[in-house]
Amino acid sequence: MDIIEYRNHDRILLAVDCIIFGFDGRKLQALCIKRGIDPEKGRWSLMGGFVDCNEDVDTAASRVLKQRTGLADIYMEQLYCFGDVRRDSAGRVVSIAYFSLINIEAYSEQLQDNHEARWFDLEKMPSLIFDHEQMVVIAKKRLREKVATHPIGFALLPEKFTLPQLQNLYEAIYESPLDKRNFARKILSLGILNKLTEKEKQSSRKGAFYYIFDKDKYSALEQEGLKFT
């Protein structure tokens, strides 16, 4: 294919959209933003932006997340390509969607105010622009599949957490109750949590011990064939 043939083809815009999940201790949430440009100005949207000519799509997604949340080096995974011809009424735009997991407590309130961003429970999501609602549905499905085999859910929690908090997270992701004893026995049998002497005493008088996720221990076990389920 020579350069003349390249010129004979239509030019299209490439965008990235990011589904940012958080967990408030009870519900799984997604971060949305009030769109500031036409079309659909003023409606709720996912975090997104166009890919520059001098950057790859992963770099563009990281840049958008940094601009919108102030956070870098957070969990992010490419999700799906959305390319319906009529998906964006302003022009021919193909979007590469990503989903990201962040700890809500680490999210910058200043950026939230500046960009009119807001957390929504997944079952109470507002109407979103274009095909963004479909993006959230697919991202939620991917998250459920991924947490069954990889410990990515810890990215949604503070550095130290209790077993009830961890169980609440998985129940929120799967929208189903889990047996307390079986859950604790299974997660502790993996040997990837380090128990602290400190307790969380706000939820009960007796209190619950805090744990931290041991990434190094998990990496070593993963090489031996550990399945995180």
Alpha-carbon separation of residue 77 from 20, 84, 148, 152, 179 (angstroms)? 11, 21, 16, 11, 30
Instruction: Return the beta strands (E) in 122-223 as ranges.
Output: 160-162, 193-200, 208-213
8 A C-beta contact, residue 101 and residue 75: yes
8 A C-beta contact, residue 173 and residue 143: yes
The packing angle between helices 132-147 and 163-174, to 10°, is 130
The total of other beta-carbon atoms located within 10 Å of residue 86's CB is 8
**Is 5 noted as a catalytic residue in this protein?**
no
- Rounded to the nearest angstrom, the gap between the alpha carbon of residue 77 and the centroid of all alpha carbons in its chain is 8
Given 105, 116, 145, 175, the catalytic residue: 116
The candidate with the shortest Cα–Cα distance to 115, out of 107, 105, 126, 125, is: 107
List, in sequence order, every residue forming a beta bridge with 213; answer none if it has no partner: 193
Cβ contacts of 125 within 8 Å, gap of 6 or more: 30, 32, 133, 136
Nearest 10 degrees: Cα torsion 155, 212, 106, 52: -30
Q: Which residues are catalytic?
A: 116
